[in-house]
Amino acid sequence: MGKKLKPEQQKLYEFIDQVLFNEWDPIGVSDVPEARDEYYGYLPQVFGKAMKGETAREIAEYLRLVEAENMGLSGSNSNCIDIAKKIVQRKNELGI
């Protein structure tokens, strides 16, 4: 059984979910409501990296790895770093 997240952690988890779907969106499905769960498989890993205090660069490297190895895409390094910076910034704003 999983442990319950603290309210600040839940906010970060939900933020990461939103930013992965709406802004990272490497396969371009954010305008398809039926695809809302497309990136759920990567959400726990990104959240875990943020909670461990990994840097934006480390989180971005994970996102690029997912794009390249899991999706077969060349992707955008700058988009991955922008997304990762937003995640780290939100974590800091929440004080966790």
pLDDT tens-place string over residues 77-87: 899 999 999 99
Average pLDDT value for residue range 64-84: 93
If you search the block for the tokens 């770093």, which residue do you land on?
81
17-64 residue pLDDT tens: 999 999 999 999 999 999 999 999 999 999 999 999 999 999 999 999
pTM: 0.93
